[in-house]
Amino acid sequence: MQPMVTDLTRRALLKKALGTAILLPTAGVLSACVSAEADESLSVAQGDRIIGCSRTPDGRFAVVVADTHGRPLHQIALPERGHGVAIQPGGELAVAFARRPGSYMQAFNPNTGVALPLRRADQGRHYYGHGAFSADGRYLFTTEGIRATSEGVIGVYDASAGLKKVAEYTGFGIGPHEVVLADARTLAVGVGGVHTHGREPLNLETMQPALVYLDIRTGEVLEKAVLADKRLSIRHLSVTDTGEIACGQQYRGQPEQAAPLVHLHRRGGALRPLLAEDEEWLHFNHYIASIASLDGYLLATSPRGNCYGIWHEASGELVDLRPLTDASGVAVSEGQWVVGSGAGKILTRGPENAGQIAQSAVMWDNHWNLLLS
């Protein structure tokens, strides 16, 4: 599959897509990529289910299981704002994590909506918002931190024993955020490198972000990849169709400074930046939330920039940049991306079409997962 547009026409198409964005703020949100979106019906698989954290109309928080039209099937109340969700292979257990610095994780059955007892963070610890199950579903691995120092911890919980903590992995960096399975024996961890008090950064001059690979059985550091620009905090991860790790960054430099916010990495190599002009990177407002690979293309969302971009993975070329208010979670269903929005929009599209947008009653948070039928 070839890129959607040639290099000669790409910039013109991007400017056309974004040219009126500044003039069309909606839902009280102002950003460079805000635009009006038309409501249309979706055409994704009926049996697939979206699972993501949300804000309820009365200002509270919940984790929601919905169909791919965004119609809620189950809603589980959360004590505070949620962030990421991990789904056990087989779909019998899911876990929602509090937004960093988080005080809880909430396990539940996504098929019935029945919640398990809330688990509070250990004393002097907090959750960083993400987790991942082992390939056999036995263990849950969570990103955690020591509250006083932000030293990173991977908590290991046994799902067969009621999510009892059975081990901790440390010594790989401070401020870990997302963890994914690089393969059945390896964890990939986005280490942000930022020491915080609450959400206030304390060490921006000395931060040391990295993409770290850990042995899933022992926690041993197998490999570490770093970026030359230490202000690029590696945060969100995804595994591409070809087995590379896609990394989304948060830039901690000057507001007017552009930086590449998405990189790809293959074991044994260097982090490879995806390509865009400075003014295109600035549309993302220094933050990437969710990433998903489809047919050799990568889609990355930015709720802070109210937009999403699509890159051709092999060439690294940015081939589309579109406005979407509070663009949040993304997953792949039936050969299409399904993209959520904090404004309740749900977009479905492929690499070579503009897609369709429908209105959901759910105000989605930054991430979601898809439970396939």
d(C-alpha 93, C-alpha 181), whole Å: 17
The tens digit of pLDDT for each residue in 307-342 reads 999 999 999 999 999 999 999 999 998 899 999 999
Is the pLDDT at 17 greater than 60? The verdict is no
d(C-alpha 212, C-alpha 195), whole Å: 17
Laid out side by side, the sheet with 152-158 consists of 125-133, 139-146, 152-158, 164-169
Q: Would you call 364 helix, strand, or coil by DSSP?
A: strand
Concatenated DSSP letters of 179-199: EEEEETTEEEEEE----EETT
pTM of the full structure: 0.87
Q: Between these two residues, 91 and 134, which has the higher pLDDT value?
A: 134
Task: Characterize 166-182 residue by residue with b for buried, 16 or more Cβ atoms within 10 angstroms of its Cβ, and e for exposed.
Answer: eeebeebbbbbbbbbbb
Is the pLDDT at 257 greater than 70? The verdict is yes
Q: List all residues 6 or more positions away from 12 whose beta carbon is below 8 Å from its beta carbon.
A: none
Q: How confident is the model at residue 79 (pLDDT cuts 50, 70, 90)?
A: very high
The pLDDT, as a whole number, for residue 70 is 84
Is the pLDDT at 100 greater than 90? The verdict is no
Is the pLDDT at 44 greater than 70? The verdict is no
Share of the chain above pLDDT 90, in %: 72
Q: Is the dihedral of CA 170, 174, 180, 183 positive or negative?
A: negative
SS (H, E, C) 305-352: CCEEEEEECCCCCEEEEEECCCEEEEEEECCEEEEEECCCEEEEECCC
Is the pLDDT at 246 greater than 50? The verdict is yes
d(C-alpha 231, C-alpha 95), whole Å: 31
Strand partners, 51: 65, 369
Nearest CA to 49 out of 22, 17, 78, 85 is that of 85
Are 137 and 126 in contact, with CB atoms under 8 Å apart?
Answer: no
Q: Between these two residues, 195 and 15, which has the higher pLDDT value?
A: 195
The pLDDT, as a whole number, for residue 231 is 93
